[in-house]
Amino acid sequence: MRIALVSDVHANLEALEAVLNHIESENTDTICSLGDVVGYGSDPSACLELVDKICQIKLIGNHDYYALGRESSNDYSPLAKISTEWTKKTLTDKDVSILDSFTMEEVIEGIHLVHASPFKPQEFHYILTHKDAADAFPNCKTNLCFMGHTHVPVIFNEKPGQPPRQRVGHDFVPQPDCKYLINVGSVGQPRDNDPRASYVVYDTETRDVCYHRIEYDIKSAQRKMEEAELPEMLIERLAVGK
Ligand code: ZN
């Protein structure tokens, strides 16, 4: 089975459509969304409807969670707060019921899926350091765990008796005796200095993990964010992938 893994769409419809077009050419059997469909961008409703229709697994991210009013955004950056408040006002009742159906974690075809970390998924911990990875590994339900959240495609791996290793997201075939935390990057707001949308295809037979970077119409996404009067910094960062 070929599984497409997308995360952190962040209401960027141009990026989502470009990625879905590319996924069509990849002969995948299923598409999984790892959360944060809304927040930051100008098209939360259209992105939610598309993800709901096309993805078989839909996880809830922290921005989705806050948009549902489930957790205060007090520990958020001011920009994230502004966009969360804007998103909340924009969502329809239908959008809210779609968000409400999203799940916190799933295991399918021998892979574990979370938004942020398998360590207390509902607390949305960032996996940025070896220590974060060391906390996360014991909570992995399978040898391969896929996530998003940091918007940076990165891979941590752990061999029995050795400390975790960190590498930039790249195509590879997992070794059977290793555990992996695989961040698929962000569709709608990449932050690794590459503005192209990021997603991953995993093939359960060959065990290939394959990263894809997809160009999309960034200017059009930015124009719509300007019309929605979203913060300038959120608009500018799309062009530089930061
Ligand atoms: Zn995010």
Element (H or E) spanning 156, and its range?
Answer: strand 154-158
Q: For the segment 77-132, what is each residue's pLDDT rounded down to a tens digit?
A: 888 889 999 999 999 999 999 999 999 999 999 999 999 999 999 999 999 999 99
Task: Give 188 Cα–ligand 1 centroid separation in angstroms.
Answer: 9
Q: pLDDT-based confidence at 224, cuts 50/70/90?
A: very high
| Ligand 1 centroid distance, CA of 177 (Å) | 31
Cα(186) to centroid of ligand 1, in Å? Answer: 7
Neighbours of 164 (CB within 10 A): 20
pTM: 0.96
CB 178 within 8 A of CB 193: no
pLDDT at residue 92, as a whole number: 96
Centroid of ligand 1 to alpha carbon of 8 (angstroms): 5
Tell me how far the alpha carbon of residue 37 lies from the centroid of ligand 1, in angstroms: 8
- Beta-carbon neighbours within 5 Å of ion ligand 1: 8, 36
CA angle 192, 197, 199 (to 5 degrees): 95
Give the integer Cα–Cα distance in Å for 111 and 48. 24
Q: Domain locations in the chain?
A: 2-239
CATH superfamily of 2-239: Metallo-dependent phosphatases (3.60.21.10)
* Gap from CA of 23 to ligand 1 centroid (Å): 21
Report the alpha-carbon distance of residue 195 to residue 211 in Å, rounded.
14
Q: How far, in Å, is the centroid of ligand 1 from the Cα of 63?
A: 7
Q: Give me ligand 1 centre to Cα 162, in Å.
A: 30
From the CA of 21, how far away is ligand 1's center (Å)? 22
pLDDT tens digit sequence for 119-135: 999 999 999 999 999 99
pLDDT reported for residue 160? 83
Q: Ligand 1 center to residue 142 CA distance, Å?
A: 23
Cα–Cα dist 31/36, whole Å: 15
What is residue 97's three-state secondary structure?
helix
- For residue 5 the two structure tokens come to 């893994």
With residues binned 3-state (H G I as helix, E B as strand, rest as coil), the percentages for the chain, rounded to 5, are 35, 20, 45
